[in-house]
Structure 1
Amino acid sequence: MSVEVGSKVQGKVTGITNFGAFVELPGGSTGLVHISEVAESYVKDVNDHLKIGDLIEVKVISEKDGKTALSIKKAIDRPEGQSSSYSQRPPRQGRVDSRSKDFRSKGSFKPKENFEDKMAKFLKASEENLSSLKRNTETKRGGRGGRRG
């Protein structure tokens, strides 16, 4: 008996790999829950969420060439207004959230240094690096002023 795509079924976890979990479905067929379909949040290790022998509810995503793709997170019923937790994450620390405010439009952004100052610093550092590089390589090659023996 083949399960229909889009249906929710109960299954038993029969194996866990680093890329997902194998689930035995009704009728004796087996499907794979990919690691990205295990939970709404980031899953580093499937073993943190599932154990062999667990009974879980899964949704059949696709079936192709005898391979059944399953999802645990799509099998969870959510109220209509609620979306996935990825869109509800707070912005990362120390970064400007481009969706909430545009720092360029307010006129409050002032660079600490202007372009000319940055270029002058870069040129000075670059010349220092080149001169120390020349000094070190000329003595090793026996260039001008090197000892001759």
Structure 2
Amino acid sequence: MYISLERIGKSNYEAVCDLDVTDEQEEYVASNMWSLVEAHYNSGYICKAICHNGQPVGFFMWVLENPSKISIWRFMVDQHHQKRDIGRKALKMVLKEITTDSTIKEIEICYNPKNPVAKDFYSSIGFEEIGMDEDGQDMLALIKL
């Protein structure tokens, strides 16, 4: 299985926008189309397609919060490609890419605490919960480098 992270551009943005999670997961994930619009109009947002054998099967967006901290704001794998270890491999690839910048000391991710899969998945990668966000809606988890 060949997994890669690819830039999103004219040739693949529609395929990325067409990716969907399951009905049960929809409340936990923002639309890829909205995320691409948000990234277009804000600086410091990085978007990548998760590709399997060259075809988009997932999406990432991360943001430079400050000179030493990156927050992963969006992460999804299409419902037809879940439970195949694609998400785990892709997240490890993103972490490796982010850590090539030696100024980054923290990587943060947030998730709905009612999401039954998120806590175990992110902790298995090395994220440690640090508490709820300022709105009290999402759990924050952190990797310190």
Q: By the TM > 0.5 criterion, same fold?
A: no
**RCO comparison, higher one (Cα < 8 Å, 6+):** 2
**TM-score, with normalisation over the residues of structure 2?**
0.27
Report which of the two has the higher share of strand: 2
Q: Which of structures 1 and 2 has the bigger CA Rg?
A: 1
Task: Name the structure with the higher helix share.
Answer: 2
